[in-house]
Structure 1
């Protein structure tokens, strides 16, 4: 049902034309940002644009046979596997999207989507999942973990990232209103762009976990972590900690570090690689606790674990501090335990402390905490903010038009 396609000015109803811009749409891109796009399209009749699109031809995608506008990167070699390899071209590509026919531009941005070009009469609202992480917070991880960060190529890469940061700040000025997916992200938006952002948590489909939560009144004796196996996720630290603890750990995910992780893992740690949703959900429901050591802007997996009635042990920075309630601080409503440092010893201590408090954490409290991030709450907050922005923007246009008229009369 389309619910936000018009505004009201005096007694006149004005139908609006919406565009929704996202970075890339590929079978491998199935994170929180893609869930936000899917949710928005359920209730806003927007035409969709992206740098590349390989989902409209994918029979398994909800975007199958949908008309999606793309850029010249669509035809580049190996684009289907991601356009990060064409990083210097991303700002140029996103600026080639012609969005002149639209009244309202909605962008879902974790890299360059917010950089689309708009006209003064167009309202641009950006849902920012994160300022471009490899250009800001993860610059050093990006340089150290890639051969392109070394030698002569390292100098070139540093220059590209420098120019990318300049463009990123400039393009932030093209946004009329920012939405952040957490208070942590809102602080990063302020630090990078000096722009305020409204916090609206992303939608988590918690209903699909409710049946599992009811069925699993007893937990199994293993810990679980699920994520992409890349450096900033800190999976190596978790594996090393459980090697030291000699407690059972299951790791689900794939990524560039999978060989390194397999080499680290002792017999008590099982690396399952990629698994379908049904398998991930089953392990989440059975796990004694979900362990996470990355600093995430939101961290949708932490909420999904709690929706399964599973406590979370997580690094306290980032979104985790907003989605997980530490049992030591919230004795009646605790849903897990937070640790202060991304170190092996901190994880070991956190797991040992968790086992002392485990009996005080209920599955019901975990599910209740997760329910605060439901699609219904996202829908209400998002639509209300879109309407508010529309009204404010319309008033600004009318005021500026009146000022111009008065100036011309003088």
Structure 2
């Protein structure tokens, strides 16, 4: 039976501000849960280029986009307009709304609100390319023109100043993990409640039977996901099979890196149904990113599949290591290196993980749990006072 979400502030006008609608990723899954809880909400976003086949859940929603939607080459190169984004997000007219919720990993929290409005920011992360991952992004940029790196550094400095200033205008912060809450405290000097993103548990079927011999890695193919590390590890152990699902700018480089390794299959983009089947039949799911939260490891656990994850960031909150005994749902490898992953993989294969324990852990991140905790937070914040439920 489909679980119906509670509808918060039914008689109040609610605006949800989301950075951009381009792919149906983790941030969009949170947005999906929010628009179910606030069905009356209007959505404001810099651009909406979400493919129709991925955006069925947005059907019938009133969506406002910024001027960026119509700028040249924005569909492909919207990120290149980063210096304009603070100005553009400040142009949204939110007069008449009682509650503003920003779903932000970049600039959405910078919307201008008025004293009579409440502004809650669900923060997926402080802007990582302006703060803790600045040097990594600059290294990956590969600047070709003299002076370009200096210009980008100055731009990011301005973005940090704007990012800090706008954080002071938010009434309440909600972080998607304790990991992100710590960064909000460090960079913004603000305290945040923690509300983990939801997992669509009903979409994943538990497999408590025999599994196939392969391991699975899946993510968008971008540098910080560290698929290169996983590929390098499996090139050293040809008796083990690896399947990699995902598309992105790193595809060609990763294909070249895996060339000649018959035990590694790069499958490219796969529809959700296929990815779910691959998760359910894999011996283990491998996750090498230092991620803010990371929802894919939980989706794998919803299938009963244990996870090998880099022991930093959100994976420390989503994967229960061997210290949990029979309730363990995977292992963490301590260093972001191929050698560390292989050493942990050797130990992983000597252990037995209960698929039911994996499933039970994933269920604590379900949509109903998300809505229940969201309601409790709204009560704690006393948003709109005694008008919060009609």
TM-score band, normalised by the shorter chain?
over 0.9
Q: Secondary structure at the match of 2:292?
A: coil
Normalising by structure 1, report the TM-score: 0.89
Q: CA deviation at 1:141?
A: 1.6
Instruction: Give 1:152's match in structure 2, choosing from 119, 138, 147.
Output: 147
Number of aligned residue pairs = 378
**1:261 and 2:254 are equivalent in the alignment:** yes
Which structure has the larger Rg over C-alpha atoms? 1
Match of 2:357 in 1: 365
Normalising by structure 2, report the TM-score: 0.93
Q: Secondary structure at the match of 2:170?
A: coil
From the superposition, tell whether residues 347 and 58 of structure 1 become closer, same or farther in structure 2 (CA, over 3 Å): closer
Residue pair 2:6, 2:371 contacting (<8 A) in 1 also: no
Match of 1:20 in 2: 16
Match of 2:223 in 1: 231
1:285 and 1:236 map into 2 onto residues whose CA distance is: 23
Residue pair 2:15, 2:99 contacting (<8 A) in 1 also: yes
**1:3 and 2:2 are equivalent in the alignment:** no
Runs of 4+ in 1 over 6 A off after TM superposition: 56-59
Instruction: Give 1:184's match in structure 2, choosing from 173, 176, 179.
Output: 179
Residue pair 1:303, 1:323 contacting (<8 A) in 2 also: yes
Give ranges in structure 1 of 5+ residues lacking alignment. Answer: 7-14, 396-410
Match of 1:9 in 2: none
Task: Give the alignment's Cα RMSD to 1 decimal.
Answer: 1.8
Instruction: Give 1:31's match in structure 2, choosing from 18, 25, 30.
Output: 25
Match of 2:379 in 1: 387
Q: CA deviation at 1:140?
A: 1.3
Q: 1:351-381 CA deviation, whole Å, 9 max, x = no partner?
A: 1110111x2x111011011111000000011
Match of 2:134 in 1: 139
2:147 and 2:169 map into 1 onto residues whose CA distance is: 34
Match of 1:220 in 2: 212
Match of 2:188 in 1: 193
Q: CA deviation at 1:151?
A: 3.9
Q: CA deviation at 1:67?
A: 2.3
Give ranges in structure 2 of 5+ residues lacking alignment. Answer: none
The 5-angstrom pairing of residues 89-128 of structure 1 reads 89-128=84-123
Q: 1:71-98 CA deviation, whole Å, 9 max, x = no partner?
A: 1111112222352110100100000001
**1:66 and 2:43 are equivalent in the alignment:** no
Q: CA deviation at 1:142?
A: 1.0
Q: 1:254-293 CA deviation, whole Å, 9 max, x = no partner?
A: 1111111111111111111111111111110110000111
**1:346 and 2:350 are equivalent in the alignment:** no
2:61 and 2:219 map into 1 onto residues whose CA distance is: 29
Residue pair 2:219, 2:245 contacting (<8 A) in 1 also: yes
